[in-house]
Amino acid sequence: MHDVMIVGGGVAGLSAATFTARADFETLVLDSDDSILRRNAHLENYPGFPAGVNARLLLELLAEGVDRADAERRVGEVVRLGRDDDAFTAETAAGDRYRADRVIAATKNAVDYLPGGVEIVDRGKPFVAVDERGRTTVSGLYAAGRLAGKPHQAIVSAGHGAEVAVTLLEDADTPFYHDWVTPDGYFTDRGRDLPPGCEELDDAERRRREDAARELMRERFAAAHPSEQPTHPSLEE
């Protein structure tokens, strides 16, 4: 049993998982491993990468962040999502079953697996009707990214995944989660308690983390990504 289950391992789902897991919600990501972003020849217009970035590498970096936040990731295509009085149950094409208190759906335009009661909007492709914060018409079920009708841009989906995750945390009636790392004494030297999700770092720890981050990025970008370039499935033999 998990606190949060995220269906879809693209940028929206992985971004959402990072936030829920860092807030200490036991998080499971179920990913069919077919994010459309993998087809991108070179991802541009993604802040932080002024010359662009390999799309498969970006997905791996996002997944690595999810792992570092202690979320669980499994490969599986969810074919049915049901809800009873206690929780949601997801069943995969392989017959595996998983349960969670809350679910974030982030599967682009796949809607057949969703439970009854979810309002679907047809705009040439199906989307899930959500409110301004990603809540669907089923309590405890949220939708993020393209599935929620957001524009077809990776950074928009990533941001919306984060926003929906924060919405879920707020709806769970937990203390407001800041997710902010501050200099030593930023709060405590002003006589304030550290807010939930905040850390204060002394100079030595700040430098250690910065050095580790630089080294990790050097390693990840040292050579060309080894993946082959996927294309549209209709063009594959």
Rounded Cα–Cα distance for residues 209 and 224 (Å): 25
Question: Which residues have C-beta within 8 Å of that of residue 125, sequence separation ≥ 6?
Answer: 109
Where along the chain do its domains lie? 2-172, 181-221
Which of 186, 133, 200 shows the shortest CA–CA distance to 161?
Answer: 133
2-172 CATH: 3.50.50.60
Residue 159 CA to chain centroid, in angstroms? 9
Which of 2, 8, 10, 163 shows the shortest CA–CA distance to 72?
Answer: 2
Residue pLDDT, tens place only, 15-60? 999 999 999 999 999 998 888 899 999 999 999 999 999 999 999 9
Residue 185 CA to chain centroid, in angstroms? 31
Residue pLDDT, tens place only, 174-215? 877 778 899 999 999 999 999 888 999 999 999 999 999 999
Q: What is the pTM of this model?
A: 0.93
Question: Which residues have C-beta within 8 Å of that of residue 186, sequence separation ≥ 6?
Answer: 200
